[in-house]
Amino acid sequence: MTPPRSLPTLALLASLALPACAVTPQKPVTPIGEIQGDGARSALDGQTVTVEGIVTATFPGLGGFFVQDAGDGQATTSDALFVAFEEGVHAPAMASGDRVRVRGIVGERKAGGDDTLTALHAPVIQPRGTGRIAPTVLTAPPADWEPLEGMLVRIDAPLTLSGTHTLERFGELIASFDGRLWQPSELAVPGSADAQRLAADNARRTLLLDDGSAQRDPAGVWYVKDGQPLRTGTVLTGAQGIVEQRLGSWRLQLTTAPTIAAPERPAAPQVAGNVRIAAFNLENLFNGDGRGGGFPTERGAKTPEQLKAQMAKLVATIRGLDPDIAALMELENDGYGADSSLAQLVAALNAGGGSWRFVDAKQGPGPDTIRVGIIYRSDRVKPTGKSATLVEGPFGERSRSPLAQAFVRDSGKPFVVVANHLKSKGCSEATGLDADQKDGAGCWNALRLDSAKRLDAWLKADPTHTRSDRIVMLGDFNAYAMEAPVRWLRDEAGWVDAFKQAGIEQPYSYVYSGLTGRLDHALLSSSLAKQLRGAAEWHINADEQDAQGYADGDPTVPFRSSDHDSLLLGFDL
C-alpha cells in the first residue's frame, strides 16, 4: 500500500526574512550546483544563500516552485532547486520562464519516509526578467537520478505503463523504461542473486509520473483525458517534468501531459482441442442474502446494483472463454441452494438458454468465507463419481479447501479437474517461517508449500476413486512461478506447467504495485500433458485499471471483471 502523502515543511525563520531591497545585484550569487552538492543532502544546510535562475515549474499543490540555473559544469550535481513557501503564506505570482533572484535558507524538506528535497526556505524574491532553460533529454534511465533532482527533464524514449493502482488516490502512474516490470520471483528463485539483480533492474527502470500535487483523491488527473481507459503495457511518449524523489520513489512531476497510446484490448482466446477447461478468480462474488437484500456484503459488491454489474461482467467473461468446464475461486461460501452465489451465477449463464451446471459438494468446500467451485456444460461433458475435497492441515483454516471432480466426454476415459486457491500473501497473524522472510515471496510461503505437498499426496491417492491419472489442477496458488510451492510441484512432484508445455513465453495473470507475474497456474499430470493442445490467458483484467471494474466501469463489457486474468486450456480427450 502506498503510504499517505504528507508534505511537512520546515518552520520559516521569520527573523531572517529580509525586505526585497536586501537582495541587490551586488549580493554574491551561489551556483545551485554548489548548494545541491553531489550527495543526498546539502552541505550548506541551514545557511542563507542567494541564487539566480529560471523558474521551470510552479506547483502550488506542492508548496513552491523550481528554479534552475545555467549549471556549474559538474555532471554530479543538480542545477535546480525547490523554493518553498510556508503553508498559509501568500506566494507571489510566478510563471515558467521568469528569471528570479532568490535569497533564502537552505534546508532539507521532508518528502515522505527518509526522502528529503533540498530547498530554499523563507525566500525573498526579486524579478530579473525572463529566460529559458532547455530540458535535459534522456533516452534511457540514468545511472543515478540524484544529479537530476529538481531539474527539467524530457524523456525521449518510449515508457511502458506498468501500474495504475495509485492514479485515483494520488494522481500517479508507474512507468518504466524498456518494457514491463516483472515480479522477480516470477523469473528467479526468491532471495537468489538473479532475483536481487532483477529487483535492482526494476528499481533502475522505474519512474513514477505525478500530477504536481500532494492532494489525495483528486477529482481528476489533469494529464489523463476524462474517460480514457488505461492498460498496463501501453506505451507513453513525450513525458516532461521535474525530477523529484518522494515517498521512496523517483518521479517526474509532470509539466506536459504525455501522449498515452490507445489501449489494445485482446479478443477472446482460442485454443485447439475438443475439451476446453478454464480457471477464473471471480474477485469475491457475494450476493447478499440472494434475494436482493443483505448489502453491503462482507466482500465484493456493496449494493444490488453493483452485484448486477459484477454478474454481467463475470458472465461476459465466461461466455467469452467458452469453456466446457471452469474452475472458480473467491465464491461466497453460502451453500448450493437457489440463493447461493454459485447457483445464481449459473442461472445468469443460462439466461436465454444454456446447459451450465455446478458441482454440488453438499457443503463448503471448507469453512472459509470464500470457496472454490466448478461449473460445467452438461451437453459437452458429464461428471462421473462423487466430488472430493481436502480439509486437513492448512486447508480450511488458511488455504481454501480444493475441490476435485472427474468428468468424461462421450464414452471416453475420465479426467479429473481440481480447483485450488492457496493462502494469500497477506501477513496478518503470520509468524516464524510464515512471516515475511524478505526474499520476495511474502508471508505464508511455508504454509503454501505445505499445502502444495498435501495437495500432491491427496491427488496421487485417487480422491475421486476413478483411477484416473489424467489430472489438471488449476487456479490461484498465490505464488509466482519460481516460488517454492509451484516450483516444488513442478520440479519435485513432476507436475507439468501447461503454459510451458504449450510454448507460451512469459505468461502472466496479475499485476501488483506495477510488477507483472503469475499467481494463477495450470499444472498437469504427465499423462494429461500429452493431450494438451493449447493454453492461453485472457488479459482483460490484470492490465486494466480499477476504474473499469463493476463499481464504476461499463457493465456491458468484460474488462476488469476481476483483478486476475482467466486461464484457458485445450485438450484432445
Query: Can you give the pLDDT at residue 265?
Result: 95
154 φ, ψ to 5°? -115, 135
Whole-angstrom Cα distance, residue 139 to residue 374?
50
Q: Do the domain assignments include residue 3?
A: no
Measured distance CA(12)–CA(87) in Å, rounded: 10
Residue 173 belongs to a domain? yes
CA dist 505 to 71, 179, 540, Å? Answer: 47, 15, 18
What integer pLDDT is reported at residue 522 of this predicted model? 98
Out of 212, 233, 260, a domain closes at 260
Rounded-to-integer distance, Cα 481 and Cα 508, Å: 10
Q: Are residues 372 and 481 in the same domain?
A: yes
Residues 141 and 74 in one domain: no
Categorise residue 94: left if φ over 0, alpha if ψ from -120 to 50, beta otherwise.
beta
Residue 185's identity, in one-letter code, is: S
Task: Give Rg (Cα) of the chain.
Answer: 28
Cα–Cα distance, 289 to 83 (Å, whole number): 57
Query: Among 130, 153, 183, which residue terminates a domain?
Result: 130
Judge contact between 101 and 50, C-beta under 8 A. yes
With respect to residue 315, please indicate whether it lies within any of the assigned structural domains: yes
Task: Sort 429 into a burial class: Cβ within 10 Å, 0-12 / 13-18 / 19+.
Answer: exposed
Q: b vs e for 245-283, b when ≥16 Cβ sit within 10 Å of the residue's Cβ?
A: bbbebbbbbbbebbebeebeeeeebebebebbbbbbbbb
- Give the domain CATH number at 20: 2.40.50.200
Which residues, 6+ apart, have CB-to-CB distance to 347 below 8 Å? none
Q: Which residue has the cell 528463485?
A: 189
288 by DSSP, 3-state: which? coil
357 in a structural domain = yes
Domain count for the chain, please give it.
3
Residues 114 and 149 in one domain: no
Order across the sheet with 325-332: list the strands. Answer: 356-358, 370-377, 325-332, 275-285, 566-571, 532-538
Distance CA 284, CA 298 (A): 9
Q: What are phi and psi of 307, to 5 degrees?
A: -60, -40
Report the C-alpha gap between 275 and 538 in whole angstroms. 17
Q: Are 330 and 298 in contact (CB under 8 A)?
A: no
CA 83 to centroid of chain Cα atoms: 34
Return the bridge partners of 182, or none: 516
Closest Cα partner for 326 from 259, 377, 387, 256? Answer: 377
Q: Of the residues 101, 130, 159, which one is the last residue of a structural domain?
A: 130
Question: Does residue 457 share a domain with residue 331?
Answer: yes
Cβ proximity of 62 and 7 under 8 Å = yes
Residues 108 and 239 in one domain: no
Would residue 6 count as lying in a domain? no
- 173 and 67 belong to one structural domain: no
Which is nearest to 209 in space by CA: 253, 145, 260, 257? 253
Assigned domain for 126 exists: yes
Q: In sequence order, what are the residues at sequence separation of 6 or more whose Cβ sits closer than 8 angstroms to the Cβ of residue 491? A: none
How many C-beta atoms lie closer than 10 Å to residue 396's C-beta?
A: 18
Length of the chain: 573
Cα 116–chain centre separation: 26
CATH number at residue 151: 2.40.50
Q: Is residue 1 part of a domain?
A: no
Which among 494, 458, 347, 370 has a CA at the least distance from the CA of 422?
Answer: 370
- With 0-12 / 13-18 / 19 or more C-beta atoms within 10 angstroms meaning exposed / middle / buried, residue 292 is exposed
User: Cβ(498)–Cβ(528) under 8 Å?
Assistant: no
Please check whether residue 270 lies inside any domain of the structure.
no
529 and 452 inside one domain? yes
In a shared domain, residues 173 and 125: no
Is there a single domain that holds both residue 246 and residue 311? no
Distance between CA atoms of 254 and 238, rounded to whole angstroms? 10
Do residues 190 and 76 share a domain?
no
Regarding whether 288 and 379 lie in a shared domain, the answer is yes
- In tens digits, the chain (573 residues) has pLDDT values of 333 333 333 333 333 333 443 444 456 999 999 999 988 889 999 999 999 999 999 999 999 999 999 998 899 999 999 999 877 667 778 899 999 999 999 999 887 777 888 999 989 999 999 999 999 999 999 999 999 999 999 999 999 999 999 999 999 999 999 999 999 999 999 999 999 999 999 999 999 999 999 999 999 999 999 888 899 999 999 999 999 999 889 999 999 999 999 999 999 999 999 999 999 999 999 999 999 999 999 999 999 999 999 999 999 999 999 999 999 999 999 999 999 999 999 999 999 999 999 999 999 999 999 999 999 999 999 999 999 999 999 998 899 999 999 999 999 999 999 999 999 999 999 999 999 999 999 999 999 999 999 999 999 999 999 999 999 999 999 999 999 999 999 999 999 999 999 999 999 999 999 999 999 999 999 999 999 999 999 999 999 999 999 999 999 999 999 999 999 999 999
Cis peptide before 123 (omega within 30 of 0): no
Quick one: which of 261, 274, 252, 267 has its CA closest to 324? 274
CA 532 to each of CA 116, 295, 520, 566: distance values in angstroms, whole numbers, following the listed order? 55, 43, 18, 17
CA distances from 61 to 207, 216, 218, 290, 320 (A): 20, 11, 11, 46, 45
Domain membership of residue 231 as a residue range? 136-260
Beta carbons within 8 Å of 332's beta carbon, 6+ residues apart = 284, 285, 286, 287, 297, 299, 300, 340, 341, 342, 369, 370, 371
111 and 145, same structural domain?
A: no
Report the pLDDT value the prediction gives residue 26, as an integer from 0 to 100. 52
**CATH code of the domain covering residue 353:** 3.60.10.10
